[in-house]
Chains A and B, each alone.
Chain A
Amino acid sequence: MVAKTLYDKLWDTHLVKQRDDGTALIYIDRQLLHEVTSPQAFEGLRLAGRPLWRRGANLATPDHNVPSEVNERAAGVDGIVDEVSRIQVQQLDSNCEEFGVTEFKINDPRQGIVHVVGPESGATLPGMTVVCGDSHTATHGALGALAHGIGTSEVEHVMATQCLIQKKMKNMLVKVEGALGFGVAPKDVILAVIGIIGTAGGNGYAIEFGGSVFRNMSVEGRMTVCNMAIEAGARVGLVAVDDTTLAYVKGRPFAPRAEHWELAVNSWRDLHSDEGASFDRVVEVDAASIVPQVSWGTSPEMVIAVDGKVPSPEDFEDRAKQLATSQALAYMGLTAGQAITDIKLDCIFIGSCTNSRIEDLRAAAAVVKGKKVAATVSRALVVPGSGLVKAQAEQEGLDKIFVEAGLEWREPSCSMCLAMNSDVLGEGEHCASTSNRNFEGRQGFGGRTHLVSPEMAAAAAVAGHFVDVREMLNK
């Protein structure tokens, strides 16, 4: 028998048809929908008079445009102040109603960021193919699911045919062996990996994250890692199924039960790369070399250790990198050679599909507990990833810890990760953000984003500038 990678196995089990022109039809088990990338797809179906192929394969929730501010949120859809945002959320409601799609509406306790909601509800499961009109769909690969981010035309295609037209990707293994040091988070691992392979390094690949670091990582940590596979260029990130995965999935509202659970587990046990499976590219990283990371530029590959210095264009030999570095320094208002710990922060954002789960909030709360946000920080937001995460955090008293420290406790939303609601970073402001992209203007026109772990964002909130969270935790 030929040794297969996890990606090969998921591909093979979902292959409907290999076509003569080199493309293949891949069956899709679950489509997640949100308000931004679905309206044109529903409209396409309507215009062509096509029904959904399998209504029950779809699950929707609004997340990008929904307000995180408690008062604005309280009035539901009608309370959304921005008219264009309100129309988009209303459109999702009416489309779901018309086509019979289950939707966790704006103030349903199960509403949240689509990539938090999927795994937490059991709507996304190991061994599934999952799509969503959102590049961070790779998140669900943490469960051993083949999850692709797709465009709106493909959303419509999956709605109408339950299939995706694909060419098989290449296999890459990112192997991190050893033990992570104290204070080093899953976010630091993925940022360090992106720093190594670059923002285009994963183009054309499905990346499997393997090695003892991921075996010993929680499923939520694996989600943080897979979530950012796209920031290394890969549409797909994957982690093999193990007992940790099974323990996470068991008992979730839409997870299989009773005899179906036994059947499912039996099949999920095979969701790992076989011994001797061949990868087109292998990248090995020593866990001990990874320390807390901070992005200094305008691409996720522009990251450095917290004890490092902002690089200079001359540090690179490649002309394009030199140019990109000087453009990034100008945009970010930083000087080459400046210590990362000298970067002062105006804003702190803890949230997003990368880092808004309960473990992220616990980690951040542990850092700020009994401390105060620095007076120079004008805004510090904590935005839980879903209504259920929020409820859990409140049950644990995390909300009180944040509020006592001077952070705002908000309602679930994508919020300032991309600022489609009213949480917008000001021009020229520096933000320590647990999100996934530091592109120009991402968090607001002229805003300056620094990507970090929840622990590092919390430490920066207290200090008012970047600080090595390991030192703060030691004190």
Chain B
Amino acid sequence: MEKFTTVTGLCAPMDRANVDTDMIIPKQFLKSIKRTGFGPNLFDELRYLDEGVPGADCSAREINSKFPLNFPRYQDASILLARENFGCGSSREHAPWALEDYGFRVIIAPSYADIFFNNSFKNGLLPIVLAADIVERLFNEMYAQEAYQLTVELESQIIRTPTGEEIAFDVDTFRKHCLLNGLDDIGITLQDTDAIGDFEAKWQQQAPWLFGAIK
């Protein structure tokens, strides 16, 4: 996983509540057996006017010029401003894969769906929770000012706005540690191999029926 320390980048809006993972990456693209290449189909049904087909050349498709991510002013954005309950619905990790592949490193929203929130951290994508009124203010500042950028510092847990204002955010200690160091959870958990083995042996004695063969 790519390390996450500080990101300075252009903001773009996804200005609706309850954005679901079907909207982030429609199901036909879930047929891929890879983790990469989902960026061109991020928000596919909103970004393009035609129906998305896996493997099609997206640069040849007709884009929806009314969808903000297609506005020239939001090109190359790396920070997504979003609304309540972002990422609800399916557990597909293809959703953070698509956001990351497109170029987003940070999402800022008042709340997220649990599974999406969890999946994001595993892919170097930082979902930040801020109070709804602060998110509202950031939306307004972004709409009012072209090329609106934020700087997100993970170590100090600070967001800097163009006026120099500092907004603090919370992040879970373990997830912060993994992001800062680009660490893979599995390696960390395997340091507890003995504890897992001990638990398993005890559990098998207590509940032997859970260890029967499945054939």
Contacts and interface: CB of A to CB of B under 8 A. Distances in A.
Interface of A: 16-17, 19, 21-23, 25, 27, 29-30, 36-37, 39-40, 43, 48, 50, 53-54, 56, 59, 64-65, 82, 84-85, 87-88, 91, 102, 123, 125, 127-128, 133-135, 137, 149-154, 156-157, 160-163, 165, 167, 199-200, 203-204, 230, 233-235, 254, 256, 260-261, 263-264, 267, 299, 320, 323-324, 327, 418-420, 427, 437, 439-442, 445-446
Contacts of B112: 203
A228 B166 CA distance: 40
Interface string B175-215: 00100000001100110100110011001001111111111
B211 A56 contact: yes
B22 A50 contact: no
B75 interface: no
Nearest to B176: A21
A176 B165 CA distance: 49
B90 interface: yes
Given A43-B33, A320-B83, A200 B88 contact: yes
B195 A27 contact: no
Contacts of A127: 207
- Which 4 residue pairs spanning A and B have beta carbons closest together? A256-B209, A151-B119, A153-B122, A151-B93
5 contacts: A16-B196, A23-B174, A50-B186, A154-B119, A320-B84
Contacts of B30: 36, 64, 420
Interface stretch (B13-21, B98-106, B148-156): B13-21
Given A149-B91, A264-B209, A324-B18, 7 more contacts: A16-B199, A25-B189, A27-B196, A135-B91, A160-B189, A230-B115, A324-B17
A422 B57 CA distance: 22
Contacts of B196: 16, 25, 27, 53, 161-163
B96 to A, nearest CB: 8
Of A91, A127, A204, A230, most buried by chain B (CB within 10 Å of CB) is A230
Nearest to B32: A84
Contacts of A134: 90-91
Contact of A29 (B17, B123, B210): B210
A199 B88 contact: yes
B35 interface: yes
Contact of A445 (B23, B45, B185): B45
Contacts of A320: 16-17, 83-84
Contacts of B32: 84
Interface string B17-53: 1101011001110111111000000000100000110
Contacts of B93: 37, 40, 133, 151-153
A418 B29 CA distance: 12
A29 B22 CA distance: 29
Contacts of A157: 185-186, 189
Contacts of B115: 135, 149-151, 230, 235
B78 interface: no
B77 to A, nearest CB: 22
Nearest to A418: B27
A431 to B, nearest CB: 15
Contacts of B113: 200, 203, 233
Nearest to B121: A153
Contacts of B190: 160-161
B72 interface: no
B55 A16 contact: no
Contacts of A327: 16
Nearest to A260: B209
Contact of B33 (A16, A88, A267): A88
A160 B83 CA distance: 35
Given A25-B192, A125-B209, A135 B89 contact: yes
A162 B200 CA distance: 9
Contacts of A102: 214-215
Given A37-B92, A151-B118, A151-B119, A440 B23 contact: yes
A65 B16 contact: no
B192 A84 contact: no
Contact of A324 (B16, B92, B111): B16
Contacts of B34: 40
B141 interface: no
Contact of B31 (A40, A123, A163, A420): A420
A392 B111 CA distance: 44
Nearest to A444: B51
A56 B55 contact: no
Of A54, A233, A441, most buried by chain B (CB within 10 Å of CB) is A441
Contact of B20 (A65, A88, A439): A439
Contacts of B76: none
B163 interface: no
Nearest to A90: B33
Contacts of B173: 21-22
B186 A48 contact: yes
A161 B16 contact: no
A390 B122 CA distance: 39
Given A102-B214, A161-B186, A299-B18, A263 B209 contact: yes
Contact of A200 (B18, B51, B195): B18
Contacts of B33: 39-40, 43, 87-88, 91
